[in-house]
Structure formats: C-alpha cells, structure tokens
Amino acid sequence: MTKIGILGANGRMGRVLIDACYQHTDVALGFASVRKGSSFIGVDAGEVAGIAKQYIKVCESELQPTDIADVIIDFTLPQALEANLAWCIANDRAIVIGTTGLSPMQLALIDDAAKSIPIVFAANYSVGVNLLLSLVRQTSAVMGQYADIEIVEAHHRFKKDAPSGTAVAIGEVIADELGRDLNKCAVYGREGHTGERDQNTIGFCTIRAGDIVGEHTAIFATIGERIELTHKASSRLTFANGALTAAIWVKGKVPGLYSMQQVLDLQ
C-alpha cells in the first residue's frame, strides 16, 4: 500500500486526487494540505472532495506530517514549487509533479532536486495522452519533414497558462524527432497578413472556454491528405489515476527525474 500526501487539497485536481485515493485499492491518503490561512484547514479531506468522510483533517502546508506519506503529489501553483521541493528533500520523500506553466528557473529547480529524491514530472498524467505522444513521435518520423504541423488545444476558462503544458510537450516531441528547436520554430497564433506558411514551423492554437477538461490535436497536413491525432479528456479523474500510477511506480526508486513515458513503459 502506497500512502499519498496531496498538496493543494482544495484545488480542482486536489479534490479529484482525494477522491481517486478513496477509490483506488493500492493507495491510501496519508495527508492533505493547503496553503497557510486557508479556510479549509481542519476540515475533513473527504468533505473537501465531496465524498465520504476520510477522518483525515486538512492541514496547513507548513505543518505537514513527515511520517505518514510515502509519495507527495503536487498539482499546485508554480510559485509553491520551490517550497514543496525543499520539504520533500528535507523529508526524503518522492514527489509526482503535475504543475504546469513553470519557468526555466523552476524547471532547473526540479532538475537539481532530482539529484536528491526521485521525481516524476509530466505535463499530463493521462494514459491516453502519453500514448498520443508516442503516436505523435511515430507520425513525425514518417511525415514530419514534409507535412505542415499544427497543434490545437482547448481547456476550461479558468486555466491560467497557454498553450497548455501538454500542447508544449507534443511540440517538443515533434521538434525532437525532426531535429528542430521548438523555441525557434514555434508559432503561437496568427493575425493579419502573415504571408505563406513556413513549412518548418510548428503552429499552436489555444482555445479557452467553459468547462472543457482538456482536448489536444496534432495535425500533420500535406497537399492531398492529413492525419489528425486527438485526445479528449472528459474527467479529471483520468489525470488523478495516472498520477497515482506514477506515485506507486516511483516509490522506492533511486533519486532521478522520471517521465510518465517511463512509468508506462512507453520508452
């Protein structure tokens, strides 16, 4: 049995993670924490998630117990990452990170922390999305050099970063397979008289509307045909279950930075 510590328990993913722990047969909720001053401190974790009482009271992040969780799951905000990593290092705990919109400096913090603790870091923990990444790489190898490549993603109105971490991950897989630098070939939206499309670019289109959980499409288009690879998520539970799979997998691993592709044995 793997015991899970959930950070940001009152967030959209935090609540779903508590529910997923309750439903999963191989994990148990160790603790659930929220930021200092939150009104959820002291509330039963189950009540926060809208499920049966768990008899585990939500605690303040600065007062997290150090001995009742094997793996920490962090889907909080970028500004909380440094403190969360420091806590895991100090307490020798593995961590699964699902926070998106991280800066180069924050990504460097993850790389550095991985020298001390095992970390799974992925833009998306859905099994389907990670399979999509593998299919995108295969398609890039066959069609990428002569196809026009576009990535379309859609999420709910509350998402704060754009394009999504998953869309960027798709772009990175394509660019890596084609030997391109995504920072130099990415085009984020178009407006006005743009001229003909540069075939070496990778285009991104971002949609933010309503309560869309997450949709991603990679388009490989040539004159006469195109391939569209699409993944649509209808519930955040798929991401939560994937994160729990990663937590079970990373427990007991040596320090290092691991991907969801490794967790699922897709690479």
CA angle 68, 73, 76 (to 5 degrees): 125
Active site residue 155: yes
Catalytic hit among 24, 155, 216, 231: 155
Check residue 100 and give its pLDDT.
85
- What is the pTM for the complete model shown? 0.82
Check residue 267 and give its pLDDT.
67
For the domain made up of 2-121+236-263, the CATH class stated in words is alpha beta
Active site residue 159: yes
Residue 255 Cα distances to 86, 93, 258, angstroms: 14, 10, 9
Enter the tokens of residue 158.
């509350």
Catalytic hit among 3, 57, 159, 253: 159
Enter the tokens of residue 197.
């499309």
Enter the tokens of residue 90.
């100090």
CATH 3.40.50.720 maps onto the chain at 2-121+236-263
The closest alpha carbon to 83, from 31, 257, 10, 72, belongs to 72
CATH 3.30.360.10 maps onto the chain at 127-233
- The pair phi, psi for residue 162, each rounded to 5°, is -150, 140
Check residue 189 and give its pLDDT.
87
Q: Is the dihedral of CA 93, 96, 102, 103 positive or negative?
A: positive
CA angle 37, 41, 45 (to 5 degrees): 145
Round to whole Å and give the CA distance between 259 and 250.
10
Q: Which residue has the tokens 């006469």?
A: 224
As a CATH number, domain 127-233 is: 3.30.360.10
Contact 185, 199 (CB under 8 A): no
Q: Which residue has the tokens 């285009």?
A: 203
Check residue 215 and give its pLDDT.
97
Task: Give me the tens of pLDDT residue by residue for the chain, a chain 267 residues long.
Answer: 999 999 999 999 999 999 999 999 999 999 999 999 999 999 999 999 999 999 999 999 989 999 999 999 999 999 999 999 999 999 999 999 999 889 999 999 999 999 999 999 998 899 999 999 999 999 999 999 999 999 999 999 999 889 998 999 999 999 999 999 999 999 998 889 989 999 999 999 999 999 999 999 999 999 999 999 999 999 989 999 999 999 999 999 999 999 998 999 886
Q: For residue 211, give the 3-state DSSP assignment.
A: coil
Enter the tokens of residue 151.
């990535």
